[in-house]
Structure 1
């Protein structure tokens, strides 16, 4: 079974949506494009999250104090180990393989405990501050260090979620940071595994994830340093100069962090997918309605761009968006949109059972009149990888010969292709706006109409 952008639940044919579960559903081939932000643990009212943040910061500070006590080699090696956490799969890697920091970078970080008096005395309160002192340390490193230092808890969390949703787990060996000894130890446990690589998989709670950490260099520079500090210099400083200035003026960084703490009330995690507002849906729908059919002035591209955003939003959470513009294996054809079939709605469960529909392909055709060639093109995509169901969006109602072709495909190959037009799209947007019914009911309506035309 070949699935586009497969997730662990898709491989095991387990039905749940991203909206339903507490964790970010891992992809099997690539990272989740989010990062764990320690500040969310500090800010969340949960006693558990606050305690984990304290343990996280204490663990990081332990490495620093161990370093200045003379255990430099152990501290450096431990920090290098924690700088990459492949099991959680957070970030932007397309191969789920990352690169650890260098010995030089690890040493520079740990030297902060020697060179900054306040850190030497009291340690860090938010260790994300290291982004403001050390080059090449950013959101991916903060996230991975956090995950590794909390890996023991994350393993227990993963096992609990697997038991809750019947996700298979297997005996695995993982290296963890032992909080009591401050050392890396190998542990045997049970975790879900990537079926392609055999690598253990560890889940992370959605409530801790953001695209950019709350404390980060870019925000510090734009909203604080350039306004409050840089004016004392004759010309703008380079990044390396700013990092060096911060190391020698830690009180300025502390002031910035205190401001961030006071303003953290509205801080929230970032969702893996965010629907566009109703007003945006209206604007995009109006844009589509006004577009001419065909390719004049890139009308076909504008149609696809606007319709893609509309469908991804109005069909959520019942359908999780997988990918747009996905090429077939031979690279010749491009499928416009692909959604995961979570079987989270009655019709979706029927499509899964009746047409082996694991993912739903949407073809978007900005043409005046749909032709049989368009139907046949989608039909070629409907293989065992996706199942025997697909949807075409087009501008106008299809001619009878095209409808007859879809019925013939069902009669001969048991393949179902639904055709929706601008009027159906308008209805979906109206339902999205009113919230009285789910927009996916329009697809259900078209499916019922299709089945009524089938030969008995």
Structure 2
């Protein structure tokens, strides 16, 4: 049974912002710290800070010769199963560091020449040079370090989907940026215990850091250049006189286990620095719908079914909530992974104003990425109007009143149909010309056009949105 089935959400994976985990086992996915560092959102910034402060604290305790304190910090990275991530077969079980490995890891870091030399700066660095630290352990450790924001996210998703929260549940160890804390909180409880949801936008097939990749494509290549520079006995000369050192000869001489990698990294510091720079510059793409379907073993997204649902809802106030539900689930699937973390009836101005739906803009390419590069668009606001009649000025003014430079100044009004589309466009253009923000409108027919466009070679370009936006600023 999946999380959505247990709580009878009647929503399949594409319509959910989180991984719809099976309650009895794990999803074969990981949280990649590099991907988190590239997440330019409030959630991403908090996660980055927590990861950095935690490992800084561990290194600080080791530098102060307080190995026991460092081990205590590491021991809280427990082998938790409430996240349901990893490669467990059968019953879910975490792969965190936990008490058993904390002493070994603390001792290894304290004795590590790379640590003493200042080369180890991030938790994921340890999987490159310290034996026994792999992808699953790093991912589970990250889950524990960012447990606090993940609990908040879980509560928000439960509120979004009316999932009951059980009060008085132990949070588990929560890193607050300085120390581990623990408290009672509200979490969804299932037949298999508590669940902490994972945003699907941060799930990956594996973490970006790979010891073998680093060794073969960065460290060995740096070592090759060094051997040639020093004209060592490993240097062979080709017929044209050019020098060459084979990676096979280097491995034979220096070894390829993590201890050897650590030793050579200290002698070739630039290799690790270049590896880390390239990693942070290379966008770690989010898993798409098909990827998510594969790792969660859930049905693929049926776009035709999505389109057909619009004809099943009548217009008018009585069906307004039903229409808003349809828009939220449709846009969550349609705009993923560009937009994520939907919130319904988000309150601003101390509750005096509400936004029907708010999304966080995480786009790395396509229309929403372009929008964020040129205009305030950290958040994307959606207003739903299940009207029989055309929209008028009050509806346009209502959305523009939700804008701000920090939240964003772009929004979409979704509506059923429009008799006078030219007049509606002029109302939106007036708002843009008055510098009150940028509003485009989408009818049922236009949303269906966007859905069909998702099957193109550039599924995130959304040319209809770009065309409508350009018409506001012409």
User: Which interval holds the TM-score relative to the shorter structure?
Assistant: 0.5 to 0.7
Instruction: Say whether 1:142 aligns with 2:138.
Output: yes
- Alignment-derived partner of residue 286 in structure 1: none
- TM-fit CA distance, 1:173: 1.1
Matches within 5 A, 1:182-261: 182-183=179-180, 185-195=181-191, 197=192, 199-229=193-223, 231=247, 233=250, 235=252, 237-246=255-264, 248-249=266-267, 251=269, 252-261=271-280
Counterpart of 1:214 in 2: which secondary structure? coil
Instruction: Give the TM-score taking structure 2 as reference length.
Output: 0.52
Instruction: Say whether 1:35 aligns with 2:30.
Output: yes
Instruction: Give the one of 3, 25, 29 matched to 2:20.
Output: 25
Aligned pair in 2 of structure 1 residues 64, 126: CA closer, same or farther (>3 Å)? Answer: closer
Counterpart of 1:233 in 2: which secondary structure? helix
Aligned pair in 2 of structure 1 residues 250, 66: CA closer, same or farther (>3 Å)? Answer: farther
Aligned pair in 2 of structure 1 residues 39, 168: CA closer, same or farther (>3 Å)? Answer: same
- TM-fit CA distance, 1:72: 2.5
- Alignment-derived partner of residue 427 in structure 1: none
Q: How many residues in Structure 1 have an aligned counterpart in Structure 2?
A: 286
- Alignment-derived partner of residue 162 in structure 1: 158
Aligned pair in 2 of structure 1 residues 117, 224: CA closer, same or farther (>3 Å)? Answer: closer
- Alignment-derived partner of residue 93 in structure 2: 97
CA–CA distance in structure 1, aligned partners of residues 70 and 292 of structure 2: 44
Instruction: Give the one of 61, 64, 89 matched to 2:59.
Output: 64
CA–CA distance in structure 2, aligned partners of residues 55 and 81 of structure 1: 14
Aligned pair in 2 of structure 1 residues 48, 346: CA closer, same or farther (>3 Å)? Answer: closer
Matches within 5 A, 1:417-432: none
Instruction: Give the one of 2, 19, 29 matched to 1:7.
Output: 2
CA–CA distance in structure 1, aligned partners of residues 120 and 262 of structure 2: 18
CA-to-partner distance for each residue in 1:144-163, whole Å, 9 max, x for gaps?
Answer: 11111111111011000000
- TM-fit CA distance, 1:206: 1.3
CA–CA distance in structure 2, aligned partners of residues 205 and 175 of structure 1: 19
- Alignment-derived partner of residue 132 in structure 1: 128
- What do you get for the CA RMSD once the two structures are aligned? 3.7
- TM-fit CA distance, 1:128: 0.9
CA–CA distance in structure 2, aligned partners of residues 178 and 162 of structure 1: 23
Counterpart of 1:189 in 2: which secondary structure? strand
CA–CA distance in structure 2, aligned partners of residues 246 and 273 of structure 1: 40
Counterpart of 2:127 in 1: which secondary structure? helix
- Alignment-derived partner of residue 301 in structure 2: 317
Counterpart of 2:173 in 1: which secondary structure? strand
Alpha-carbon contact 1:16-1:344 (below 8 Å) kept: no
- TM-fit CA distance, 1:122: 5.9
Alpha-carbon contact 1:167-1:192 (below 8 Å) kept: yes
Structure 2 unaligned segments of length 5 or more: list them: 225-246, 313-450, 456-474
Aligned pair in 2 of structure 1 residues 99, 208: CA closer, same or farther (>3 Å)? Answer: closer
Aligned pair in 2 of structure 1 residues 139, 103: CA closer, same or farther (>3 Å)? Answer: same
CA-to-partner distance for each residue in 1:183-206, whole Å, 9 max, x for gaps?
Answer: 3x33101111221x3x21001111
- Alignment-derived partner of residue 75 in structure 1: 70
- Alignment-derived partner of residue 177 in structure 1: 174
Aligned pair in 2 of structure 1 residues 102, 83: CA closer, same or farther (>3 Å)? Answer: closer
Counterpart of 1:235 in 2: which secondary structure? helix
Aligned pair in 2 of structure 1 residues 222, 144: CA closer, same or farther (>3 Å)? Answer: same
CA-to-partner distance for each residue in 1:246-289, whole Å, 9 max, x for gaps?
Answer: 56446132232122233x1x32122463399xxxxxxxxxxxxx
- TM-fit CA distance, 1:227: 4.2
Aligned pair in 2 of structure 1 residues 226, 345: CA closer, same or farther (>3 Å)? Answer: farther
CA–CA distance in structure 2, aligned partners of residues 136 and 117 of structure 1: 17
CA-to-partner distance for each residue in 1:180-233, whole Å, 9 max, x for gaps?
Answer: 5413x33101111221x3x21001111111111111223223433444437372
Alpha-carbon contact 1:112-1:119 (below 8 Å) kept: no
Instruction: Give the TM-score taking structure 1 as reference length.
Output: 0.54
